Structure 1
Amino acid sequence: MTVDAEVLTLSEVEALPAIVDLETARRALGIGRTTAYALARAGSFPCPVVRVGAAYRIPTVGLLRLLGIDHLIR
């Protein structure tokens, strides 16, 4: 089995800060950049998104819940 170098590993996900950028969230989900931005713009990203000026930020707690690893929340 090969691992996509762009996709985050579980240990990398465990070390995420409280809020991440859209690029990091999409890597954790294994989706493409274009798809991630299109979903965020449409309000359809699969976890909560916070708009900060022109940037999209994703609270890590929502990302962990989506991934089914919210037991990592401290």
Structure 2
Amino acid sequence: MVDVSKHELVPEHTLLEEDELEEVLAEYDIDRTDLPKIKRTDPALPDEAEVGDVVKIVRDSRTTDEAIVYRLVVE
């Protein structure tokens, strides 16, 4: 079976540590539940991702070189 997360078109997905997450939430003055969601079954997620974790996604961007987005893992 093919590992989708290794495909060249899938952006880098990284689990955030709790201290990094607190910095992000404070910077944007939001709660964890205010973040956009991503399903636990998404094949691009790291295997160790669990419901309630936050994932940092780094995408290529034509205008800013790279775009960073955050997603809350949900059931």
Larger gyration radius, structure 1 or structure 2 = 2
Higher share of residues assigned helix: 1
Q: TM-score, normalised by structure 2?
A: 0.28
Higher share of residues assigned strand: 2
